[in-house]
Chains A and B, each alone.
Chain A
Amino acid sequence: MIPSLEPARLLVVDDNSVNRMVLSRSLEQEGHLVETAENGQEGLEKFRTGTFDLMLLDIEMPIMNGFEVLESCLNDVDLRQIPIIMTSAMDELDAVVKCVELGAEDYLTKPINPILLRARVNASLEKKRLRDEQRKLFRTFATKEVAEELLRTGFSLGGKQVIASVLFADIRSFTTIAENQEPAESIDLLNQYFSLMFDAITNNGGTLNQLVGDGLMAVFGAPMFFDSHREKAVRAAREMLEQLKVFNQNQTAQGKAQIRIGIGIASGTMVAGYTGTQSRAIYTCIGDTVNLASRIEEYTKAALHPLLIDHYTRLGLPDDIKVEDLGKIVFKGKNQAINVFAVI
């Protein structure tokens, strides 16, 4: 077993003083920092106000038992990411099974076996560390709510029908810029640009799905539905254009090329889900609405407007967002002409 490099902060909740002493002593010998609580209520209060990496929780306790503490923690967005190991007598195994089914990380039977304790605690801390990294990664691409939902429910491959808005954005003439500068400079430019765009998207509740070259795709209203997905998508797009304006001012000040982008948004039903394999998958959306958003984005070139939307997106906008009707356009692969609007 690899010893953990940094001491972890652990909370031991048990009404039995001998158990508290045995657990604290064993964990302190492992180099961890240990706090204790004598009943469920005190434990929950400490868990909420402190920053713990793990809790060892007795089931049978006065005032508030282990079940109740576990349930409160699992219903708390900030607490449910912290592993909880149940501790119980051998003859309470039914109760332990219930706790693990509810979402406890693991369990230990009392009397505590120090070797098993060390192994379970270290394994849980290691899993937490990996989950924290995964969470950080998810958050780069999605809102906190979506990231937490994904971590909580896991994901299954296969899709479902959703109503959402899809946003496509592309840098116009990035290739021309790239040819005139060092490769490292191009990557640096892309990274700066993407980080600005991510912020605009996640600030408005969007989830970034794909990056291809200098293009990106984001979805609003999925995996978690929200009513204002059309408005949020358009607000994100406007924020992207605002961010780009500032970005371009900096580019100009440094004597570097400016970039222009085109953004297309379409809303409606689509199939959303994870595509790929169990080990490598991305959340994405497919269907006519998605294709339409991509076509509309391409059309920004000809229309000479940076932000275009379809009719259904326009119907979801409040009055303060003004649009200009560009009329009906026939897109490649579409039988019917589509009414396109420019957001001004």
Chain B
Amino acid sequence: MSVIDLKIFNNLRDAMGADFIGELIDTFLEDAPNQIAQMTHALAEKDAESFRRAAHTIKSNAATFGAAELSALARELEMMGRDKNLEVGSRFEVMKEAFEKARRQLSELR
């Protein structure tokens, strides 16, 4: 099952050009693990602001590529960070799984 909304993705590819979309995907796939690491670190340090910022970036980029589920999960975590609530339970793990699924499909699409 597709985790990428292909209508959004194809629009992006058309707008950016087929040669540029690969570069854009690479940038996202290289950046996102850094943000996930930042979130992990922020949870350990109880740094809600840092957690929120990293989640914000993942939310934004996931939406750009049409990774709707990942974007929604990152947004959920961003809101928790904004509310200074770091009792994220399993939601962070669920988001990481969603990123892996998005990563696999985007690698195929590039």
Chain A residues proximal to chain B, CB less than 8 Å: 15-19, 21-22, 25-26, 29, 60, 62, 89, 91, 110-112, 114
Contacts and interface: CB of A to CB of B under 8 A. Distances in A.
A111 B63 contact: yes
A18 to B, nearest CB: 5
Contacts of B6: none
B105 interface: no
Contacts of A17: 27, 31
Contact of B61 (A18, A25, A26, A62): A18
A18 B27 contact: yes
Contacts of A60: 53, 56
B60 to A, nearest CB: 6
Do most interface residues of chain A lie in helix, strand or loop, or is the interface mixed? helix
A19 B61 CA distance: 8
A214 B28 CA distance: 68
Interface stretch (B15-23, B39-47, B83-91, B96-104): B15-23
A91 B75 contact: yes
Contacts, number: 49
A17 B61 CA distance: 9
B57 A89 contact: no
A25 B21 CA distance: 10
A256 B8 CA distance: 75
A23 to B, nearest CB: 11
Residue of A25, A29, A112 with most chain B CB atoms under a 10 A cut-off: A25
Contact of B24 (A21, A89, A112): A21
B64 interface: yes
A19 B31 contact: no
B61 A16 contact: yes
Given A16-B57, A16-B61, A111-B63, A21 B75 contact: no
A114 B15 contact: yes
A30 to B, nearest CB: 11
B20 A111 contact: no
Interface string B49-82: 0000100110111011000000000010000000
Contacts of B28: 18
Given A17-B31, A110-B63, A110-B64, 13 more contacts: A15-B57, A16-B61, A18-B61, A18-B64, A19-B60, A21-B24, A21-B27, A22-B12, A22-B16, A25-B20, A89-B56, A110-B60, A114-B15
A46 to B, nearest CB: 21
Given A25-B16, A111-B64, A114-B15, A18 B24 contact: yes
Nearest to A17: B27
A19 B59 CA distance: 12
B58 to A, nearest CB: 10
A89 B60 contact: yes
Nearest to B71: A111
Closest 4 CB pairs of A and B: A114-B15, A111-B64, A18-B61, A111-B63
